[in-house]
Chains A and B, each alone.
Chain A
């Protein structure tokens, strides 16, 4: 993607300045190391006297440990020791994955290792500590466990039946959480509707499959009473609090370091029992302990997501105006709610976001979340959006077909108009600064629907099923304290940036936002250099170290640019003011006649300036030369948070064209378009890459990915060969364009862009497939839409 041509945000200054970097698709020079083998991932770290662990994990979905004998395992070559819950519980307090702001949530305490009952296949029960991973695995085979297998609750649809297996008897049943949203009167509105359409969709469990698996090196330094944890997590300050709380250590003596992370997508923002056990072991032994999840254990222990069955109903008037929408959503999580963000959030977002682009005066949404004996579930990129958008857009398509108007026409009739903000979602969540109309118009320009309709017709005559879809969606980004903090979670919604001019003239910037490859470092640099007036290569950035960065929330919910970026902007501007104050004093002139350009304080009207290096040298080494009363502060810190609304939303319109091979059931994605309005784009290329990567990830869920379980709760396809992630050959090129509506909540005006692709792609793919199948009066209602499901829908099998 090219640089932005038109100045997308005049508040940031003219784009004609020499140091205008915001809006430019600059390459990530700092990331070049990844092409040289110079990444620093957790598994690359080797510390003196470091030991390695391997976990014995339950092979059963539900069982009791009658007895466990680790004595023989302890004698295995290279083994230092073997622990069960008894040893770990001494060093780590249990936790509960509930928050207080979403109504009643019930989840029992969870310990790092299961004590007596195991409740999901993969739950850790013992840990071997050895000189290397291979020797640790050898010892696992020598641990003797006397199991008593129990019936497992693996079907979410029967989890609340009278004869369900109640996973936590003390809770009485398997209900984790439920919520009802009721706006207006849907029953009345359906009665008054000219047409009512219904559908029930189901979505399979799937998981993130980050190429770099979860990993941690915990290093308790006995002499200092301090623990340093090298972690490939997304939220270091959150982890700092949690380690301190559960290991009972002063928070100031916990340092979390997150260097390079090989993909996270929300998988690495949660608290995992095996990682907590590693921290506990390090505290107990006073030695560095390393744990890297291997691929097999990643499939059964990384959080899963997106298992929903949702029924929906939409009522429209004669012209196609939506009068009412009703959804009923069921989701199955694991046996525990995940800590600290809770496993209710995905369903909550389904309830909050269904129907979001449209004016729907009557809206009812019921969400039920039940426990199962399966891998725990929690937030994964585009949390809940794939379901919310899919149910909404499927119903809208059905309504359009029923009353005989175009797919895009019905949407345009119902959009919240671009000039009608602030407004609200049907569920009542505040919306601002969106552009559904402009985005859809742009999408239609790109797609040429008339052409596609002609192709559909001619292809049908040849026996080829072609279909297309157009969807609109809102994406949750830049969350405020009303997301987690309000419920009691120590998850910061405020982020900070600290910037300084050093004696060499170099600029150092640190931010509480973290990097997992999306380009955090690059965009922070662009913002700082742009607002300060310095070259890109004079800025270096520190991220991901709780000792060395400001306090903040890290990266999740697409908050980096909008929240972290604003903090950087403010800090850079403050530093610039300080520099100009000092320069004015040194140069004996009015501050307003000066500016900073190319690392130099220049006189706007010409004449000799001074370089930032010269200015810094004066301040640091020859302070006596400064006029009396000058405040020589070449350092600034600023912070930012979103206030008053729960989220800043981004909107997106997507379209695709697909063809179905009627013999094999294989779907080919011929074309895919995405229009994204994420406000100010710091680096358009990086935004485009988020959309493209996100779309492909969404296509994975739509067509390929699912965690397959047998009726005993064992995952059947937990290997890289059997779990089908999107690979290059089957994926389309994606055409991306933008509309720009800046967020009024910040100067930088940037909203998040990381998740729309994943949130919208499943809906538009499903709609396109049904658009094709409808030509024969058929449809599919279940994701992933496998060839087998297509053939079944076509009646071929």
Chain B
């Protein structure tokens, strides 16, 4: 399991990285490398060149920008978990990251890397969609902002163009009556989930005003369950009804650990788990 040969370019600034990437469509970006290197070691990928952007300054900053919390692409998962601003303004993200792999992976894996890679089983892409995040891309023609919900197109397929590099993700603040609640079901701690759910809930007293349900590990990208969310708002939790609704709006794809029927079932009970968490 030794990687195939490739050349290596250590970018000193984002412009050089963009230029290099646009000139070689077999080049790939190396940030944390926690998804790229396993693929290389298993020879699932044979890029011509790795463009290492991990040494570029100022791409890992976490700060407030207007109405958003801006997380620089190179912020590692550990950086994010230990960040005071995140712990204060977006503590749900800290809880989510505790479910991502293990400490040694989180010490290197980057926020931007996970968002850009778009593993359908990963938490962060679904989180970004649920949070109505904005994805900041930098390319030859400058900066471009894409809504997270428009970013994920298919299996490992995103709206990232061949000359673009993801440089930041902006999360709108949650208002005092908005909550991001999540839960997932996995075989072993740190594994990819069999099914997971990010729910953005807006409450009016104890009534749910607004609800966004975004599933992960259920299909080829984050799955938004719009109709089902409406049913939950209107009628609360009803297993059979919600299961039927989910089946009609999401194309569940089975994998090694759970069949599509199981994912559908888990997706349904996850709504109950979320509602229980909400009560607490």
Which residue of B2, B3, B5, B262 contacts A791 across the interface (Cβ within 8 Å)? B262
User: Hey, what's the 0/1 contact readout for B152-193 against A, CB within 8 Å counting as 1?
Assistant: 000000000000000000000000000000000101111110
* Assembled-state Cα–Cα distance A721/B185 (Å): 16
Residues 755-796 of A contacting B (Cβ, < 8 Å): 786-788, 791, 796
A666–B42 CB distance below 8 A: no
Residues 1-33 of B contacting A (Cβ, < 8 Å): 1-5
A666–B185 CB distance below 8 A: yes
A724–B188 CB distance below 8 A: yes
Residues 280-315 of A contacting B (Cβ, < 8 Å): 294-296
* Assembled-state Cα–Cα distance A664/B258 (Å): 11
Residues in B with CB closer than 8 Å to A721 are: 191-192
Residues in B with CB closer than 8 Å to A643 are: none
* Assembled-state Cα–Cα distance A708/B5 (Å): 31
Q: State whether the Cβ of B266 lies closer than 8 Å to any Cβ in chain A.
A: yes
* Assembled-state Cα–Cα distance A708/B3 (Å): 26
Q: State whether the Cβ of A717 lies closer than 8 Å to any Cβ in chain B.
A: yes
Residues in A with CB closer than 8 Å to B192 are: 721
* Assembled-state Cα–Cα distance A797/B267 (Å): 12
Question: Nearest Cβ in chain B — how far from A301, in angstroms?
Answer: 14
A787–B188 CB distance below 8 A: no
User: Hey, what's the 0/1 contact readout for B189-200 against A, CB within 8 Å counting as 1?
Assistant: 111101000000
A137–B43 CB distance below 8 A: yes
* Assembled-state Cα–Cα distance A791/B272 (Å): 17
Q: State whether the Cβ of B265 lies closer than 8 Å to any Cβ in chain A.
A: yes
Given known contacts A708-B256, A719-B42, is B3 in contact with A134 (CB within 8 Å)? yes
Which residue of B43, B259, B272 contacts A788 across the interface (Cβ within 8 Å)? B259
Given known contacts A295-B1, A788-B259, is B194 in contact with A727 (CB within 8 Å)? no
A664–B266 CB distance below 8 A: yes
Residues in B with CB closer than 8 Å to A788 are: 258-259, 262
Question: Nearest Cβ in chain A — how far from B45, in angstroms?
Answer: 14
Question: Nearest Cβ in chain B — how far from A303, in angstroms?
Answer: 20
User: Hey, what's the 0/1 contact readout for B243-275 against A, CB within 8 Å counting as 1?
Assistant: 000000000000011110110111001001100
Q: State whether the Cβ of A133 lies closer than 8 Å to any Cβ in chain B.
A: yes
A663–B43 CB distance below 8 A: no
Q: State whether the Cβ of A730 lies closer than 8 Å to any Cβ in chain B.
A: yes
Residues in A with CB closer than 8 Å to B4 are: 137-138
Question: Nearest Cβ in chain A — how far from B109, in angstroms?
Answer: 14
* Assembled-state Cα–Cα distance A7/B190 (Å): 46
Name which of B261, B262, B269 has the most chain A CB atoms within 10 A of its CB: B262
* Assembled-state Cα–Cα distance A788/B257 (Å): 8
* Assembled-state Cα–Cα distance A294/B3 (Å): 13
Residues in A with CB closer than 8 Å to B191 are: 721, 724
* Assembled-state Cα–Cα distance A68/B77 (Å): 48
Question: Nearest Cβ in chain B — how far from A294, in angstroms?
Answer: 4
Residues in A with CB closer than 8 Å to B2 are: 132-134, 137
B187–A787 CB distance below 8 A: yes
Q: Which residue from chain A places its CB closest to the CB of B187 in the assembled complex?
A: A724
Q: Which residue from chain A places its CB closest to the CB of B185 in the assembled complex?
A: A664
A727–B262 CB distance below 8 A: no
B265–A797 CB distance below 8 A: yes
Name which of B1, B190, B269, B273 has the most chain A CB atoms within 10 A of its CB: B1
Name which of B2, B5, B189 has the most chain A CB atoms within 10 A of its CB: B2
Residues in B with CB closer than 8 Å to A786 are: 257
Which residue of B188, B258, B262, B265 contacts A729 across the interface (Cβ within 8 Å)? B188
Residues in A with CB closer than 8 Å to B5 are: 134, 138
Q: State whether the Cβ of A722 lies closer than 8 Å to any Cβ in chain B.
A: yes
Which residue of B189, B190, B194, B256 contacts A717 across the interface (Cβ within 8 Å)? B256
Q: State whether the Cβ of A41 lies closer than 8 Å to any Cβ in chain B.
A: no
Question: Nearest Cβ in chain B — how far from A364, in angstroms?
Answer: 38
Q: Which residue from chain A places its CB closest to the CB of B272 in the assembled complex?
A: A663
Residues 616-653 of A contacting B (Cβ, < 8 Å): none
Given known contacts A138-B4, A787-B194, is B265 in contact with A730 (CB within 8 Å)? no
User: Hey, what's the 0/1 contact readout for A95-132 against B, CB within 8 Å counting as 1?
Assistant: 00000000000000000000000000000000000001
Given known contacts A717-B256, A719-B42, is B188 in contact with A727 (CB within 8 Å)? yes
User: Hey, what's the 0/1 contact readout for A712-744 against B, CB within 8 Å counting as 1?
Assistant: 000011010110100101100000000000000
Total of A-B residue pairs, C-beta within 8 Å = 60
Residues in A with CB closer than 8 Å to B269 are: 663-664
* Assembled-state Cα–Cα distance A708/B191 (Å): 18
Q: State whether the Cβ of A704 lies closer than 8 Å to any Cβ in chain B.
A: yes
* Assembled-state Cα–Cα distance A730/B262 (Å): 21
Question: Nearest Cβ in chain B — how far from A63, in angstroms?
Answer: 21
* Assembled-state Cα–Cα distance A716/B257 (Å): 11
Question: Nearest Cβ in chain A — how far from B74, in angstroms?
Answer: 25
B265–A796 CB distance below 8 A: yes
Chain A binding surface SS class: loop
Question: Nearest Cβ in chain A — how far from B172, in angstroms?
Answer: 32
Q: How many residues on chain B are close to A (CB under 8 Å)?
A: 27
A716–B258 CB distance below 8 A: no
* Assembled-state Cα–Cα distance A787/B261 (Å): 12
Question: Nearest Cβ in chain B — how far from A128, in angstroms?
Answer: 12
Residues in B with CB closer than 8 Å to A717 are: 256
Residues in A with CB closer than 8 Å to B194 are: 787
Question: Nearest Cβ in chain B — how far from A76, in angstroms?
Answer: 11
Name which of A134, A666, A787 has the most chain B CB atoms within 10 A of its CB: A787
Residues in A with CB closer than 8 Å to B256 are: 708, 716-717, 722
Residues in B with CB closer than 8 Å to A797 are: 259, 261-262, 264-265
Residues in A with CB closer than 8 Å to B3 are: 134
Residues in B with CB closer than 8 Å to A138 are: 4-5
Residues in A with CB closer than 8 Å to B188 are: 704, 724, 727, 729-730
Q: Which residue from chain B places its CB closest to the CB of A663 in the assembled complex?
A: B269
Residues in A with CB closer than 8 Å to B257 are: 724, 786
B42–A296 CB distance below 8 A: yes
* Assembled-state Cα–Cα distance A788/B195 (Å): 13
Residues in A with CB closer than 8 Å to B261 are: 797
A729–B187 CB distance below 8 A: no
Name which of A137, A138, A664 has the most chain B CB atoms within 10 A of its CB: A664
Question: Nearest Cβ in chain B — how far from A258, in angstroms?
Answer: 24
* Assembled-state Cα–Cα distance A796/B259 (Å): 13
Residues in B with CB closer than 8 Å to A724 are: 187-188, 191, 257
Which residue of A134, A137, A719, A729 contacts B189 across the interface (Cβ within 8 Å)? A729
Q: Which residue from chain A places its CB closest to the CB of B259 in the assembled complex?
A: A788
B265–A791 CB distance below 8 A: yes
Question: Nearest Cβ in chain B — how far from A794, in angstroms?
Answer: 10
Q: Which residue from chain B places its CB closest to the CB of A77 in the assembled complex?
A: B5
Residues in B with CB closer than 8 Å to A787 are: 185, 187, 194, 258, 262
* Assembled-state Cα–Cα distance A722/B192 (Å): 10
* Assembled-state Cα–Cα distance A724/B189 (Å): 11
Question: Nearest Cβ in chain A — how far from B205, in angstroms?
Answer: 28
* Assembled-state Cα–Cα distance A724/B273 (Å): 25
Residues in A with CB closer than 8 Å to B1 are: 294-296
A730–B189 CB distance below 8 A: yes
Residues in B with CB closer than 8 Å to A132 are: 2
Question: Nearest Cβ in chain A — how far from B233, in angstroms?
Answer: 22
Question: Nearest Cβ in chain B — how far from A214, in angstroms?
Answer: 14
* Assembled-state Cα–Cα distance A136/B180 (Å): 50
* Assembled-state Cα–Cα distance A296/B192 (Å): 20
A704–B265 CB distance below 8 A: no
Interface residues of B (CB under 8 A from A): 1-5, 42-43, 185, 187-192, 194, 256-259, 261-262, 264-266, 269, 272-273
Q: Which 4 A-B pairs have the closest CB atoms?
A: A134-B2, A729-B189, A294-B1, A663-B269
Interface residues of A (CB under 8 A from B): 132-134, 137-138, 294-296, 663-664, 666, 704, 708, 716-717, 719, 721-722, 724, 727, 729-730, 786-788, 791, 796-797
10 A–B contacts, CB within 8 A, in A order: A134-B2, A134-B5, A138-B5, A666-B185, A704-B187, A704-B188, A708-B256, A724-B188, A727-B190, A797-B262
Given contacts A664-B185, A704-B188, A724-B187, could you give 12 more A-B pairs where the C-beta distance is less than 8 Å? A134-B2, A138-B4, A663-B273, A664-B266, A717-B256, A719-B42, A727-B189, A729-B190, A730-B188, A787-B185, A787-B258, A788-B258
